[in-house]
A and B are shown apart, each in its own frame.
Chain A
Amino acid sequence: MRRVAVSGLGVVSPLGNSAADCFATARAGRSGVHLLEIPFAGRLNAPLAATARFDASDHFDATRVRMLDRFSLFALFAANQALADAQGALAGLDLDRAGVFVGTGMGGTLTMDAGYQTLYAEASDRIKPFTVLMGMHNAAAAWIGIEHGLRGPNLTYSTACSSSAVAIGEAWLRVASGQLELALAGGAEAPLSNGSLKAWEALHTLATVDAETPSASCRPFSKNRSGMVLGEGAAMLVIEPLERALARGAVIHGEILGCGLSNDASHITRPSVAGQAAAMRAALRAAAIDAQAVDAINAHGTGTQANDSAETAAIRAVFGEHAERIAVSATKALHGHLLGAAGALECLLSLQAMRHGVALPTMHLQQPDPECDLDYVPGAVREGVAVRTMLSNSFAFGGSNAVLVLRAADAPRLQ
């Protein structure tokens, strides 16, 4: 297997639309969660979301804007940014050996919601002609391939909240094995349609509004946590053999050492400690490292009662006493839950955290929970720490778990 580098980062997120901005906001512990100011907010029990400040017409021509759902626009913007960051990664490359791997949980749900609005609420039969093309889950990956002429595998993964971690893991495998010379991998999600907001509300998984500080409504690992907050955005990575990136003189953001997948095979929503632990063990095996090598974990950390206690137990099960020495960060408190894009965004933040030698904070952890008793880096970033190896955990409804193993680049630490 070849060593695999991440040589380009691109992102649209509630914390900013560049890797640097997104990381700086997370490092400062500033939340992107806010009260929704849309007419439909009045029909929601908890009108919260973490939205991305992104006007597609600032970046794309009118034809693109009309033909792409918001999730595809996010993905294409992030992919373009990642390729620009990777400094000539496509030059001299056989594009048959360049693939695209995108995770999304809900695909073009905004487009589908608009179609239903036309069909049922307005009782009109005039559905927009691009509805199928905008709504299909593989649209984001397809447009990235078209934009850059990437003719290798063009794949879309939909495993709910682990989708983009799976996509990155699959891309890693193909680059590491020599099948591909480059992959654009990540995820995109634009789930804030009226129908989707109501559907998530109906499942009783969303956070209640913190009346004093709405931006602090998502409180992972805190005893008074009340659920997750939906977020939107995309994160894309350029993944290539380390040797090729170094030969080009590219900036190496970090390495992907491996990916572990598991399936709970037990309950459609309730997380399984055994399933989550199995994914972490599989990831360590894939990366061929000892558990003691792990310095930090970006937790799945959704802020639901069920996930956070199960994830804590799973980390303890895998790492034993070493769990006490691992910095566990739940950045969803800040950027919300990007569902199918969450794993990619958290992977990007983890790579940035390692490059800068910090452990990102778990914000809004107000009340210790006896069932969540690890080092969550509560309340403020921890600076000047040697974080060389990280896990990025992503678990999902349906029971499909994915864990990425990341390593800091062999390069001087950034400030």
Chain B
Amino acid sequence: MNTTFERLSAILMKDYVLSADRLTLDAPLEGLGIDSLGTVELLWNIEDEFKVKLPAEPVQLLTVGDVVRYVDDLVASQGRPAAPAGVVVPPGLRAT
């Protein structure tokens, strides 16, 4: 488990009991059963998983890809590694 997408998928599969094949970058969050409240919870879990601090500004996240991009940007701007040390994230897997 090393990419942002994979780590995010692990959270979603655990909390929403989703199968891996439903988790694609363009999958709408609402379609996965994650409403606005679910997104709030997801962001809280993201803080834990990616060791980032969420900014106070509201953000609109509609798809799994939106969340991946948001996390990657946070990690980049806050200067922490998105993956455990020693793991290289292939640029192609970043949904930017």
Contact = CB atoms under 8 A, between A and B. Distances in A.
Contacts of A63: 15-16, 33, 38
A92 interface: no
Contacts of A66: 15, 41
B39 to A, nearest CB: 10
B72 to A, nearest CB: 22
Contact of A129 (B16, B17, B41): B41
Contacts of A133: 37
Contacts of B40: 129
A353 B50 CA distance: 57
A130 B15 CA distance: 14
Interface string B37-67: 1101101100110000000000000000000
Contacts of B44: 126, 128-129
B13 to A, nearest CB: 11
A62 B15 contact: yes
Interface in A62-97: 62-63, 66-67
Contacts, number: 22
Interface in A129-166: 129-130, 133
A61 interface: yes
Contacts of B47: 126
A386 to B, nearest CB: 53
A133 B37 CA distance: 10
Interface in B10-40: 15-17, 33, 37-38, 40
A24 to B, nearest CB: 36
Interface in A1-25: none
Contacts of B33: 63
Interface in A93-134: 126, 128-130, 133
B41 A62 contact: no
A95 to B, nearest CB: 22
A140 B41 CA distance: 20
Interface in A37-74: 61-63, 66-67
Contacts of A62: 15-17
B58 to A, nearest CB: 14
A133 B40 CA distance: 12
Contacts of B16: 62-63
B8 to A, nearest CB: 17
B48 to A, nearest CB: 8
Contacts of A126: 44, 47-48
B41 to A, nearest CB: 5
A353 to B, nearest CB: 43
10 contacts: A62-B15, A62-B16, A63-B33, A63-B38, A66-B15, A66-B41, A67-B37, A128-B44, A129-B40, A129-B44
For the complex of A and B, 7 pairs with smallest distance between CB atoms: A129-B40, A129-B44, A129-B41, A62-B17, A62-B15, A130-B41, A63-B16
Given A63-B15, A129-B43, A130-B37, 19 more contacts: A61-B17, A62-B15, A62-B16, A62-B17, A63-B16, A63-B33, A63-B38, A66-B15, A66-B41, A67-B37, A126-B44, A126-B47, A126-B48, A128-B44, A129-B40, A129-B41, A129-B44, A130-B41, A133-B37
Interface of B: 15-17, 33, 37-38, 40-41, 43-44, 47-48
